[in-house]
Structure 1
């Protein structure tokens, strides 16, 4: 009896998620359209948060896939993907890139290459959000005006581990790997493995056991 009930439950669950997947894709396309996001095709589980300011630009290549729910990527991160593009800023994502529960906050420029994998809970910021000057932080206008921004670039085939934070001005080279929970504050060359807080080089890809 338990076996039969279990099979029935799993069958109904699968039907539910198939229907939800279709609805999620439709809603996501509407959100992209309303935010003037340029894209070719998408696959999404769950609904992301998208905020593209007037004058901001967001472009996504073909084969883009994302997870926005804890059921679609059960690693303990419940937030959906979030895309914020400020006025005059540009966010570009290449072909066949996948991400889960990722926050991309773009105040000037974030460029993510093709075939990149970004794990759950990753945050990528091209801004400090606030001025580093304590006097300027007192004023809302001055605080925002004097915040520092610098482009972020992630090369093709990079793999960013879950819960990593990538800060402004960072370039991650092609095919490099960032360990889970890292805080990346400086440039990473191609074909290297980095990890830690702050992230440091661990080894090169060729010397790491496959």
Structure 2
């Protein structure tokens, strides 16, 4: 039995190494085919979902590190990373950013600064997705044309805890921390800890 356990662990390690090699290549090609500008040092465990519309812009800085799916994000509610940039959207990710199973939907403008850490299953939206007027929501193009959109800015050294939601119009100040499962509906100053639904000030750093 001991030999079987050793062989199983060796086989698992080999499989993981081979998988990582191919996932890295596929992720890079997928991003480039979507017109994404990528810096050096990309690390991708698993393969993300990327959809950059014609006219959309998406750039990634150096040393971007992401985990995709159940093999690499084992904290529950696993998914791959999603990057959706609409035709007028502009998504900017800085240097030395790390994310896990994160969904980013960019209709207007989202900027993520340097050395930002984003926990598992965080979602970031710069749009309401639908018009507030119920009559407009009944017609697809009118619904989209009347959707509220506001830029999201996440400054350097921010840490966003797992399962949090960052909504449109929010600016999170440098060095601030968002507690797990928070819903951020308004801007947060630098050097503060916020948490809850909706997120509220907890203390300074």
- TM-score of the alignment, normalized to the shorter chain, above 0.5: yes
Q: Structure 1: how far apart are the matches of 2:184 and 2:78? A: 23
Unaligned 5+ residue runs, structure 2?
none
Q: Structure 2: how far apart are the matches of 1:3 and 1:114? A: 46
Q: Structure 2: how far apart are the matches of 1:58 and 1:198? A: 29
Match of 1:208? none
1:28 lines up with 2:27 in the alignment: yes
Q: Does the residue aligned with 2:203 lie in a helix, a strand or coil?
A: strand
Match of 1:114? 114
Match of 2:87? 87
Q: CA deviation at 1:77?
A: 2.3
1:147 lines up with 2:120 in the alignment: no
Q: Structure 1: how far apart are the matches of 2:139 and 2:35? A: 32
Q: Structure 2: how far apart are the matches of 1:181 and 1:152? A: 18
Match of 2:13? 14
Match of 2:68? 68
- Alignment length (residue pairs): 204
Q: Does the residue aligned with 1:189 lie in a helix, a strand or coil?
A: coil
Cα deviation digits, residues 143-166 of structure 1 (max 9, x gap) = 111000000000111000000000
Match of 1:127? 127
Using the size of structure 2 for normalisation, the TM-score is: 0.98
Residues 95-104 or 39-48, more deviating: 39-48
Q: Structure 2: how far apart are the matches of 1:11 and 1:182? A: 40
- Where do 1:19-58 residues align within 5 Å? 19-41=18-40, 42-58=42-58
Q: Does the residue aligned with 2:186 lie in a helix, a strand or coil?
A: coil
